[in-house]
């Protein structure tokens, strides 16, 4: 079989990224131009500023990705941009760029769901991993437990009813004065603390989540307690959210009779979450987690998902539009 090269484009939030991936599994290049320093001073991503910076970066990042992969545009088999979910203005930049490349080169345009991309990060880290498995998808905008039935076939078993888990990390970080992006900062500070505070955990009949109660409890404790130990507060928050995630994952495993679990999304970079999931291996689970650099937004995961969409026969018209609320199923 001939090798297939996909060119992934990611611009759904504050990273402009372009990657070239071979056969869905091997990264030839993965250039990530992050805007974190630009948004840091506002305490979060400012959508209009993000869009403008994507426009400024996209061409440069693409050229760099081609150069590093040592391939030219003619050698690319499919152009695979993210078209949702995410910030609409930001998505439009990468998608329009991808559409222009597809039209000019007469190459297939194959749209990618950003969440599908996060799941596919595992295929790059683990060349042997194949569906079916359960994916615990935890990012800044989404939290869901997905039954990955095939490379392009998914069933969402449970999802958040309010905040995404990354959003909760970012808000907690803001309240305790750690700044943006909060997840890695909470992770670091929690290592110096002990989880002394009992926080409320919400349970539902099904596999849904709610993180707003835990988040509000952290905010209230912080306001009401003088000289609160911030490291202990972060450790308590992290422990509570991890317990909820793991409880629901075990339920999903029992429901589907699948003990292969993969993590995905920015929050799967969290050291406590990773070590607690690894502990499950003692109970017969097989745990997969993407390389740290593939947990947060990047185009390699998009090019990998794009490859599976491409070989499954998906082709998009140039009328493909950005879908800020695009669902996995």
Residues found near ligand KG4 in the complex (CB under 6 A): 13, 139-141, 166, 169-170, 181-184, 187, 265-267, 269-270, 296-297
Q: Minimum distance between the CB of residue 266 and ligand KG4, rounded to whole angstroms?
A: 2
Contacts of 203 (CB under 8 A, 6+ apart): 244, 247
Q: Minimum distance between the CB of residue 81 and ligand KG4, rounded to whole angstroms?
A: 15
Tell me whether residue 256 or residue 324 sits nearer to ligand KG4 (CB atom).
324
Tell me whether residue 24 or residue 166 sits nearer to ligand KG4 (CB atom).
166
Do residues 73 and 66 touch, judged by C-beta distance below 8 A? yes
Tell me whether residue 195 or residue 265 sits nearer to ligand KG4 (CB atom).
265
Q: Minimum distance between the CB of residue 171 and ligand KG4, rounded to whole angstroms?
A: 9
Tell me whether residue 41 or residue 282 sits nearer to ligand KG4 (CB atom).
41
Q: Let me know if 322 is exposed, middle or buried by CB neighbors in 10 A (0-12, 13-18, 19+).
A: buried
Bridge partners, 159 (sequence order): 144
- Tell me which long-range contacts 271-274 makes (C-beta under 8 A, separation of at least 24): 271/187, 271/191, 272/187, 272/190, 272/238, 272/239, 272/242, 273/138, 273/238, 273/242, 273/245
Tell me whether residue 184 or residue 213 sits nearer to ligand KG4 (CB atom).
184
Q: Minimum distance between the CB of residue 42 and ligand KG4, rounded to whole angstroms?
A: 15
Tell me whether residue 111 or residue 266 sits nearer to ligand KG4 (CB atom).
266
Q: How far apart are CA 275 and CA 190, in angstroms?
A: 14
Q: Minimum distance between the CB of residue 170 and ligand KG4, rounded to whole angstroms?
A: 5
Write phi, then psi, for 231 (nearest 5 degrees): -65, -40
Q: Let me know if 115 is exposed, middle or buried by CB neighbors in 10 A (0-12, 13-18, 19+).
A: buried
Q: Is 29 helix (H, G, I), strand (E, B) or coil?
A: strand
Q: Minimum distance between the CB of residue 252 and ligand KG4, rounded to whole angstroms?
A: 20
């Amino acid at each position: 079989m001939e090798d297939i090269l996909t060119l992934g484009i990611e611009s759904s939030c504050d990273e402009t990224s372009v990657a070239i991936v071979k056969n869905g599994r091997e990264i030839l290049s993965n250039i990530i131009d992050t805007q974190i320093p630009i948004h840091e001073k506002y305490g979060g991503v400012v959508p209009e500023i993000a869009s403008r910076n994507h426009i400024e970066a996209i061409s440069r990042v693409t050229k760099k990705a081609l150069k590093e992969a040592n391939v030219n545009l003619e050698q690319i088999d499919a152009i695979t941009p993210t078209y949702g979910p995410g910030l609409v203005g930001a998505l439009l930049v990468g998608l329009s760029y991808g559409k222009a490349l597809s039209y000019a080169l007469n190459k297939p345009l194959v749209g990618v769901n950003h969440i599908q991309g996060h799941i596919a990060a595992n295929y790059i880290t683990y060349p042997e991993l194949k569906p079916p498995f359960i994916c615990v998808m935890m990012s800044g905008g989404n939290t869901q437990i997905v039954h990955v039935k095939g490379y392009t076939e998914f069933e969402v078993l449970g999802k958040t009813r309010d905040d995404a888990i990354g959003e909760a990390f970012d808000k907690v970080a803001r309240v305790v004065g750690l700044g943006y992006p909060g997840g890695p900062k909470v992770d670091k500070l929690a290592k110096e603390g002990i989880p002394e505070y009992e926080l409320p955990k919400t349970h539902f009949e099904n596999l849904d989540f709610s993180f707003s109660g835990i988040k509000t409890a952290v905010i209230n404790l912080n306001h009401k307690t003088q000289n609160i130990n911030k490291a202990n507060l972060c450790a308590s928050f992290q422990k509570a959210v991890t317990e909820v995630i793991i409880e629901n994952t075990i339920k999903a495993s029992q429901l589907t009779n699948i003990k292969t679990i993969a993590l995905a999304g920015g929050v799967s970079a969290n050291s406590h979450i990773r070590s607690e999931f690894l502990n499950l291996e003692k109970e017969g689970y097989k745990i997969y987690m993407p390389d740290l650099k593939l947990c947060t937004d990047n185009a390699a995961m998009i090019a990998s998902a794009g490859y599976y969409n491409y070989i499954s026969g998906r082709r998009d018209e140039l009328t493909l539009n950005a879908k800020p609320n695009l669902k996995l199923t």
